[in-house]
Amino acid sequence: MDITLVRGDITEQRTDAIVNAANSSLMGGGGVDGAIHRRGGPEILEECRKLRAGHYGRGLRTGQAVATTAGRLAAKWVIHTVGPVYSRSEDRSELLAACYHESLRVADSLGARSVAFPAISTGLYGWPMDGAARIALAAVRQADTSVDDLRFVLFDDAAYAVFEAHL
């Protein structure tokens, strides 16, 4: 698998799937989640509503992942995963790693060969970039997946530099 870093906007990636750092409601939110829903259009929210009406009635649990259409995005699918809120008193690194493992499992079930990830949990959920980069890169390197083009799409130069140091 080729792992590359991209400085930019995940909604512009031409990959089979992009990963959304979603909230548990699957109804859109801020940050990456909001950008994906705004740019992708109402088709994404409609599929999320159907998921909520079905198996995910109580929402998606931390570390789980599920796919929807990508609507008007260049990607074919959006894989939604709920990252953990950072805690200084509790080690939640396994939950963060599970977001990457589960997203790749969903990507494999879709037949996706290229996937773009954001830095999950580093925005509103407060995960320090250094720890998040270390966990994310270790998780994807350990994954048993058919994905051969894996990208981390990082919104700013500081995040890019941290991921580059760990890559």
Task: Count CA within 13 A, CB hemisphere, residue 120.
Answer: 37
C-alpha 57/C-alpha 118 separation (Å) is 26
Which H or E run contains 150? strand 149-154
Catalytic residue among 16, 33, 91, 130: 33
Q: How many residues make up the chain in this entry?
A: 167
DSSP assignment of 21-68 equals: EE-TT-S--SHHHHHHHHHH-HHHHHHHHHHHHTTTTT-PPTT-EEEE
User: Is 33 one of the annotated active-site residues of the chain?
Assistant: yes
- Residues serving a catalytic function are 33
